[in-house]
Amino acid sequence: MERSPTDYRTGLWVDWCPGCGNYGILAALTQALAELGLDPAKTVIVSGIGCSGKTPHYVRVNGVHTLHGRAIPFATGVKLANPELTVIVEGGDGDLLGIGAGHFVALGRRNVDMTVIMHDNQVYGLTKGQASPTLPYGVQTKGLAKPNIQGMLNPVLLALASGYTFVARALATDVKHLKQLIKQAVKHRGAAFIDVLQPCPTYNNVYTAQFYRKTVYRLDEDPDWDPVVRDPSQEHSKKMAAMAKAHEWEPRIPVGVFYHNPLVPSFEERLQSRLGNYLEEPPARQTIVSGSDGTPVVNTESLRRM
Ligand code: SF4
């Protein structure tokens, strides 16, 4: 069935500030969902808290607006309970890499098949522009009384070190390119991460849309750049090359795919190797029974332990 991006939009009024990069991310996301033809009933968007956390309200698929920093563990539960679902996490840099940093790392180690789209504006926009973990040391945005006293966490480098098997960066204002990357990330079988540089015109007057227009360059325009691991022997060299690229920031910021390794088993495949019928009979297909204290629990007795 052919779908259009508007099929994936709810009628809710979008209340992000004028000029916010979140509009570009929302447009790219709905275009990607439409071009992938994803069934809204089998697609789930999970968000945390922050301006980005409102995304599930605007997209007509299943959506859960969870707690600050907890989108990834919630999404992991959704995916492992029902591996048939396409699961996408939408979160801010403060949400995913501040309070949620431990969960971010754990997802890479597990390689659960889901996509994390990070709205990276370097500030806590919803709470008046405090410095987030991705704002460089010494930079003073307009919400700060003094320059940032903390160091910057590099999200692409952290994702690579944590074990994400698809790692990319995009610019929120380049909707076409971001849409392509979201499609690639969703199709990838494993943990995929996209760091989206997202201008916040209300609180970040340093890393603006104009700044990114001047500094960003596309990795896919370099004919020698090949981030795909095609053989296990390439894993180390490709990851080292991606890590070197991840260190580039001003005056030239790379966007595109840094690393793509389709050879690592997903967490669902690892579970299947221990529970022989996990993929055919996942928890979502099991019966709900009454636990010893009367609370409803999933009966996992029929899962075959290997
Ligand atoms: Fe966007 Fe910043 Fe406004 Fe939040 S505060 S909606 S991130 S412009």
* Nearest-angstrom CA–CA distance, 134 and 130: 11
Domain ranges of the chain: 5-269
- The lowest-confidence range among 98-112, 204-218, 227-241, 274-288 is 274-288
Q: Which residue's CA is minimally distant from atom 2 of ligand 1?
A: 200
Q: Is 124 in the pocket of ligand 1 (CB under 6 A)?
A: no
Burial tier of 119 (Cβ tally within 10 Å: 0-12, 13-18, 19+): buried
Dihedral pair phi/psi, residue 252, rounded to 5°: -130, 125
What number does the ligand 1 atom closest to the CA of 92 have? Answer: 7
* Residue 80: band (very low, low, confident or very high) from pLDDT cuts 50, 70, 90: very high
Q: Is 148 in the pocket of ligand 1 (CB under 6 A)?
A: no
> Does residue 238 sit in helix, strand or coil?
helix
* Residue 292: band (very low, low, confident or very high) from pLDDT cuts 50, 70, 90: confident
pLDDT of residue 298: 79
Compute CA distances 72 → 95, 114, 116, 125, 128, whole Å: 10, 9, 8, 20, 24
- The lowest-confidence range among 224-233, 241-250, 253-262, 291-300 is 291-300
Name the one residue in this structure whose structure tokens are 């994400």: 164
104 Cα–ligand 1 center, Å: 23
* Residue 92: band (very low, low, confident or very high) from pLDDT cuts 50, 70, 90: very high
DSSP string, 153-172: P-HHHHHHHHT-SEEEEEET
259 Cα–ligand 1 center, Å: 29
Q: Is 24 in the pocket of ligand 1 (CB under 6 A)?
A: no
ipTM > 0.90 for the complex? yes
Q: Quick one: which of 121, 115, 112, 128 has its CA closest to 79?
A: 112
Q: Is 20 in the pocket of ligand 1 (CB under 6 A)?
A: yes
Which tens digit of pLDDT belongs to each residue from 156-214?
Answer: 999 999 999 999 999 999 999 999 999 999 999 999 999 999 999 999 999 999 999 99
Q: Is 22 in the pocket of ligand 1 (CB under 6 A)?
A: yes
Dihedral pair phi/psi, residue 95, rounded to 5°: -65, -50
More confident residue, 302 or 21: 21
What number does the ligand 1 atom closest to the CA of 203 have? Answer: 2
* Nearest-angstrom CA–CA distance, 226 and 228: 6
* Residue 262: band (very low, low, confident or very high) from pLDDT cuts 50, 70, 90: very high
pLDDT of residue 305: 75
- In sequence order, the β-bridge partners of residue 124 are 130
Q: Which fold has domain 5-269?
A: Rossmann fold (3.40.50)
What number does the ligand 1 atom closest to the CA of 19 have? Answer: 8
207 Cα–ligand 1 center, Å: 13
Average pLDDT over residues 140-150: 97
Q: Which residue's CA is minimally distant from atom 1 of ligand 1?
A: 20
* Nearest-angstrom CA–CA distance, 242 and 157: 8
pLDDT of residue 98: 97
Q: Is 23 in the pocket of ligand 1 (CB under 6 A)?
A: no
pLDDT of residue 300: 73
275 Cα–ligand 1 center, Å: 45
Which tens digit of pLDDT belongs to each residue from 37-70?
Answer: 999 999 999 999 999 999 999 999 999 999 999 9
pLDDT of residue 288: 84
51 Cα–ligand 1 center, Å: 6
